[in-house]
Amino acid sequence: MNFIWLSFECSYRKKSKVKRVADEIRHGAVSRIVQAQFAIALLLTLSSCQLSTQSSNGLKLGTLLPITGDLAQYGSPMQDSAQLLVKTVNNCGGVLGQPVELISEDDQTEPAAGASAMTKLAEVDRVAGVVGGASSAVSSAAVDIAVRNQVTQISPASTSPVFTERAKNGDFQGFWFRTAPPDTFQGQALAKLAKDQGFQTVAILAINNDYGNGLVASFIPAFEALGGKVVSGQPTRYPPDAATFESEVGAAFSSNPDAVLLITYPETGSLILKSAYQQGLLNKKTKVLATDGLKDPAIANLAGKNQAGKFIASGLIGTAASAGGPAIAAFRQLYDAEYKRQPSVYDPNTWDATALMVLAAESAKAATGPAVKDKIREVASAPGQEVTDICQALDLVRQGKDVNYQGASGTLELDAQGDVVGTYDIWTIQENGELAVKGQLSVGGS
C-alpha cells in the first residue's frame, strides 16, 4: 500500500501515531485487515486536522516594489518602510505568535518583471499578501496573478482609475486594495490648482501607460468644467521606454500655453525638463504643472541648472496625495531614528499597507490570503477602537477587541472597491532646489 503524506496542522501525538502505524504497514508488520482499518483511521485523522498551505509557518508577506527603473527613487524608501513595519511588529510579538516573514522582489518599474515577480511570490513563496506595486502598469500586470492565487494585494502608490472600474466589475474578488487615492481625485485636484494659479490654457505631456492615461482622463473634463481649455484637446504622449523627448516637448510647449502639465516619473521627467530648457521653451509665460510622479526631493538636482546657475525645475508646482494621517508624526520619528532621513512621498502609504496586512491576519487568526482579505476593511473601520500604534493595535486584537486603525497616510477608510479618499498637498520646487509643501486641496468621491 502506498501513502501520500500531506502537510497539515494537527497535534504532535496524532502525527506520531499515524507515522508509527504507517511504518508498520510498510514493513509488513500488520495484516491486510489492520491495513484497511488504518486507512479508515487515517481519513478520520485527516478530517480532524486543518489543511494548511500559507498559514503553516506563520504570516508570510511579499513586497513588489521598484528598486530599479524609473521609480527607483521611490521604491527603495518604500521597501525600507515595509521592512520597518515588519521589524516593529516582530519586536512586539509578531503575528499569531510567530515572526512575520517579508520576501522582497524588485519589479524594475516594468510590467513584465512585475508579473514574473508576483508569480514567484504567489506560487513559489506562497505569500498571503503583497505590498505593491508602485507603478499602476506594474500593478495591472500583477493583480490578476494575485487574484488567481488568492493573494491579497495592497498597493501604496498605484493610482490609476482602472482599478476602481475593475473592482466594480468584480474582477478582483475583493483581493485588491490601495492606500493612495485614485487619480480620478488627483485629476480634480490638479484642475483646481490650475484654475487657482490663473491658468486658462494647459497643454499635457504624459507617459503612455495606465498612470498617465488615467490622469489625463480625469484632468481634462475637470479642467474644462472649471472653464479651462486643454490645448489641441488632446495630450502629447510618450512611450514608457522613451530615452529622448525633443519632438514631444516641442509639441507640448509650441502653442505657448499658460502651463504644461507633466505626467511623468523622476528619471524621464528630469530629461523632459532638460530638453525643454535646451530648446528655449521654459520661459516666464509657460509654467510647469506636475503630478505626484515628480514629487521627488532630488528632482531639482536631476534636472540640473541653467547657465545662470539656477535650478531648471525652480517654480515647478504640482499635487500629490497628502500623507497626513493621525500616525504621521510617530511614523516620521521612527523612520528617522532607523534610517537617519525623513520618509519619501509614498513611505507612509507603504507602512499602512503592511500594517493592514498584519492586523487582518491577527484578527482572522489565519495567515492566508482569503483570511487577510476578509479582515482588511474591518480592522480599518468603525466601530472599533481608534488606534495609531501598530503594537497597541495588535495587542487589542489579540484580546478579541475590534480596532479602527488610523494610519500614517490617512484614516484608511476603504470603500467597496478598496479605494481611500483624502486630501492633496500642493508642492513646489523653490529657488534653492528644495521641495516644499505650500498648501492643500480637498477633493472627494462617493
Q: Which of 86, 120, 290 is CA-nearest to residue 205?
A: 290
Helix (H) or strand (E) holding 81: helix 72-91
**Looking at per-residue confidence, does 73 or 30 come out higher?**
73
Which of 80-84, 255-259, 380-384, 436-440 has the highest average model confidence (pLDDT)? 80-84
Least confident of 37-46, 76-85, 119-128, 306-315: 37-46
- The sign of the dihedral angle between the CA atoms of 213, 268, 426, 79 is positive
How much is the average pLDDT of 275-300? 92
Q: Which of 331, 358, 326, 360 is CA-nearest to residue 347?
A: 331
- The sign of the dihedral angle between the CA atoms of 155, 160, 162, 165 is positive
Conformational region of residue 205, where left means phi above 0, alpha means psi within -120 to 50, and beta covers everything else: beta
Mean pLDDT of the chain: 88
pLDDT > 90 fraction of the chain, expressed in percent and rounded: 79
pLDDT value, residue 24: 43
Q: With cut-offs at 50, 70 and 90, classify the pLDDT of residue 26.
A: very low
Q: With cut-offs at 50, 70 and 90, classify the pLDDT of residue 421.
A: confident
DSSP-assigned letters across all residues of 137-185? HHHHHHHHHHHHTT-EEEESS---THHHHHHHTTTTTT-EEESS--HHH
- Is-contact 60 127, C-beta < 8 A? yes
Q: CA angle, 87 as apex, 424 and 126 as ends, to 5°?
A: 90
- The sign of the dihedral angle between the CA atoms of 124, 168, 382, 181 is positive
pLDDT > 70 fraction of the chain, expressed in percent and rounded: 86
pLDDT value, residue 49: 39
pLDDT value, residue 183: 87
pLDDT value, residue 9: 34
How much is the average pLDDT of 192-206? 97
**Look-up: residue for cell 507603478?**
135
Q: Which of 26, 370, 234 is CA-nearest to residue 18?
A: 26
pLDDT at 415 over 90: yes
- Is-contact 361 162, C-beta < 8 A? no
Write down the pTM of the prediction: 0.77
**Looking at per-residue confidence, does 82 or 12 come out higher?**
82
Q: With cut-offs at 50, 70 and 90, classify the pLDDT of residue 96.
A: very high
- Label residue 91 exposed, middle or buried (CB < 10 Å: 0-12, 13-18, 19+): exposed
How much is the average pLDDT of 183-206? 95
Query: d(Cα 353, Cα 379) in Å, to the nearest integer?
Result: 12
pLDDT at 182 over 60: yes
pLDDT at 40 over 60: no
pLDDT at 430 over 70: yes
- The sign of the dihedral angle between the CA atoms of 239, 245, 248, 253 is positive
How much is the average pLDDT of 333-351? 96
pLDDT at 388 over 50: yes
Grouping H, G, I as helix, E, B as strand and the rest as coil, residue 49 is coil
Q: With cut-offs at 50, 70 and 90, classify the pLDDT of residue 444.
A: low
Strands 435-442 and 423-429: antiparallel
pLDDT at 37 over 70: no
Query: d(Cα 379, Cα 414) in Å, to the nearest integer?
Result: 10
Which of 6-15, 20-29, 305-314 has the highest average model confidence (pLDDT)? 305-314
Q: CA angle, 218 as apex, 214 and 224 as ends, to 5°?
A: 145
**Looking at per-residue confidence, does 156 or 285 come out higher?**
156
pLDDT value, residue 324: 82
Q: With cut-offs at 50, 70 and 90, classify the pLDDT of residue 282.
A: confident
| Residues 6 or more apart in contact with residue 327 via CB below 8 angstroms | 348, 388, 389, 406, 407, 408
pLDDT at 52 over 80: no
Q: Which of 74-88 are b and which e, b meaning 16 or more Cβ less than 10 Å from the residue's Cβ? A: bbebbbbbbbbbbeb
| Residues 6 or more apart in contact with residue 123 via CB below 8 angstroms | 149
Helix (H) or strand (E) holding 299: helix 299-303
How much is the average pLDDT of 215-237? 94
pLDDT value, residue 232: 82
Q: Where are the alpha helices (DSSP H) in 304-443?
A: 328-339, 347-364, 369-379, 390-398
Radius of gyration of the chain (CA): 26
Query: d(Cα 106, Cα 117) in Å, to the nearest integer?
Result: 7
**Look-up: residue for cell 509639441?**
251
pLDDT at 187 over 80: yes
